Amino acid sequence: MTDQKINPAEDKPCKVMRVKPEQADSRLDAVLEELFPAYGLRGRRRLWQWCAITVDGKARKGSFRVKEGEEIAVVQNMSARPPALFSSALTTEAAPGYSGRPLPAGAPFRRVAGYEEQRRKRIQAYKPRIITAGEDFAAFGKIEGVASAALAGGGKDSVEAMLDRHWPEIWKLYAGEQNIPDQPLPDRPLLCNRLDAETSGLLTAAFSADKADVFRLYEREGKVRKKYLALVHGFAPEYLLMPKTLDTYKRRSTLVLQREDMDYTRHTRAVLLKNIHAVDGDEPAGREWRAALRYLMGLSGSFSLLEVTILRGARHQIRAHLADAGFPIVGDSLYGPASSARAGRMFLHHFSVDLPGFQATWMPDWDLSGIDFSW
């Protein structure tokens, strides 16, 4: 028997169950599958980070062997900002194919009608737009499907090439929107960072080669803070630190080495914003699944929306680090499960850059209703 109620002593969500005869002598973390079927064993072991778990009123570890008839109580620790463990959307049905690791190949992805045509038209119509401009730096918004640099474009158009062709009209549009008085056209800015073609978000550029050197100096000193939103497979913990060394030398995909990089500016950090559960079928089980899946229909499994922070950045750093941690990005066909290729886009967006004297923010076109960005 399982029950869900409020702990009257502390007014916190609480789940309670009795140990069945067939569950006797099982480990506590294994028996908790009855209360949290959407979690694999790895995910259930993380419950101790977020909850107080007792057996007949005594706190017990996951390795504790339970006996028939004992009462198991799980009380949510509200101060730990856990995922929505007590939401019915997470507990009414086990996530198909989910066992604490990325979804297997073959998990269903069915995009909304006309998605590919909509995407093609957006890419064709795209021109770089200034999000924020200062005296030394400017930030441009890049959509997914467009290369950052001309060399990386492989013969296709890029933001760098578009800036060469359209810089006067790009600046004129921004100046008009910001009511900037007529003044000489600034020099065409030089890109300071790059994004993978399938990553959307901010590109920071400097108005001179000297200022570009200043940007790189700030990066080495850890003074440039770049924040991303990433939708990943699996239920991620509240906080992830990914410090492993990356090998990018002459590789199509970045290799994560099993040793820590002593340069802290190369580490990747992630904070959990929301856990999302989607069930198979054309109709969602609830509105919660739509939190970051505007373009997807019928997506099945368990997902997390993360705020990811890096200071410098290497090629594929976030993608490789998250995949190595067991949480590949949805739509990442290189580091994720084979089914990700059918997502139609990669859900990674560079939304904030902050350095001395300059800051810019540009949120993605995902549906982020109900997401808490306050911390």
List pLDDT tens digits, range 93-134.
222 222 333 333 333 444 555 667 777 888 999 999 999 999
- Give the Cα separation of 259 and 244 in Å (integer): 5
Q: Quick check: 29 and 62 in contact, CB under 8 A?
A: yes
Split at pLDDT 50, 70, 90, the class of 7 is very low
State the pLDDT at residue 341.
Answer: 66
Split at pLDDT 50, 70, 90, the class of 158 is very high
State the pLDDT at residue 105.
Answer: 34
Q: Check if CATH label 3.40.50 holds for domain 95-125+222-375.
A: no
**Per the structure block, which two tokens stand in for 187?**
């020099």
| 47-56, 112-121, 169-178, 319-328: range with lowest mean pLDDT | 112-121
Please identify which of the residues 196, 282, 332, 365 carries the catalytic annotation.
196
In the residue annotation, 196 being an active-site residue is answered as yes
pLDDT of residue 299 exceeding 60, the answer is no
Where are the alpha helices (H) located in the chain, listed in sequence order? 28-31, 41-45, 47-50, 88-91, 115-125, 159-177, 209-220, 317-324
pLDDT of residue 69 exceeding 60, the answer is yes
DSSP string spanning 51-100? Answer: EEEEETTEE--TTPBP-TTPEEEEEE-GGG----TT-HHHHSSPPTT-SS
State the pLDDT at residue 2.
Answer: 47
Mean pLDDT of all residues in 128-150: 93
pTM as predicted: 0.68
Domain 2-91 CATH superfamily:
RNA-binding S4 domain (3.10.290.10)
State the pLDDT at residue 45.
Answer: 77
Return mean pLDDT, the chain: 78
pLDDT of residue 191 exceeding 90, the answer is yes
- Give the Cα separation of 315 and 214 in Å (integer): 21
Which is more confidently placed, 11 or 213?
A: 213
Q: Would you kindly state where each structural domain of the chain is located, as residue ranges? A: 2-91, 95-125+222-375, 126-218
Whether 95-125+222-375 shares its CATH topology with 126-218 is answered yes
State the pLDDT at residue 40.
Answer: 64
Which residues 6+ apart lie within 8 Å of 263 measured at CB?
none
Mean pLDDT of all residues in 43-70: 86
| 117-121, 172-176, 206-210: range with lowest mean pLDDT | 117-121
CATH of domain 126-218: 3.30.2350.10
State the pLDDT at residue 115.
Answer: 66
